Structure formats: C-alpha cells, structure tokens
Amino acid sequence: MANTQSKIDSLEEQISKLVDENDKLKRDKAEFSAKEAEQSTKESAENTKLRDTKLNEGNAKRDAEISKIAKLNFQQLKQIAIWLLIEIDKFTFENKLYFPEFNNSCNGTLTHKLH
C-alpha cells in the first residue's frame, strides 16, 4: 500500500509540475502574442508611412510633369501666336502692294468686293 501511495504522490507531483509548466507556457504565449501584435502594429505604421511617402513623391513628380507640359504648351502657343502675327503682317504688306484698295480698307479688312 505504501508503494501505491508513493506512486500516487509521485503522480500528483508530476501533475503539479505539468500544471505549473502549462501556466508558464500560457503566460509566455500571451507575452509572445502581445509582442507580435506590437510588432505588427509597428510594421503596419511603417508600411503606411512608406506608402504615403511614395504617394507624395509620385504626386510631386506628376505635378512637376504637369507644370512642365503646361509651360511647354504655353511656349508653343506663344510661338504659334508670334508666327501668326508675322504671317498676318506679311499678308497685310503683300495685299497693300498688290491691292491698293486694301490701303483704303476699314480696320485693315478688305471692304472692296471683287467682281
């Protein structure tokens, strides 16, 4: 009987150790889960910051390109306007040479009807 009691005591001691070890493992798991959640939150914040930085850089590049295109378009329009003014001056000068009635026209427009 003493042998049986000794086995029971030994088993109870092993159970107690296993319960203690189980409790420790649960605490470790909770601590690990908390650290993992904290790390995940940090990574998410870093990823968001990185994404925002890339978006802002992309927006800045896009805005610079739009500005560049607008400037080029304005310069092209300016060149076209200058060219048109030169062509109008040439046309006006040539018409004054070949069509004397053009000199008598109102506001530079030919009012004489050709028959």
Tokens representing 54 are 């890339």
Residues 18-74: tens digit of each pLDDT: 999 999 999 999 999 999 999 999 999 999 999 999 999 999 999 999 998 888 889
In a domain, 110, yes or no: no
pLDDT(113) > 70: no
In a domain, 111, yes or no: no
Q: How far apart are the first and last CA of the chain?
A: 143
Domain, as residue range, for 47: 2-104
User: What is the three-class DSSP state of 99?
Assistant: coil
CA distance 93 to 46: 70
Distances (CA, A) of 7 to 13, 15, 21, 28, 88: 10, 12, 21, 31, 118
**How many domains, the chain?**
1
pLDDT of residue 61: 92
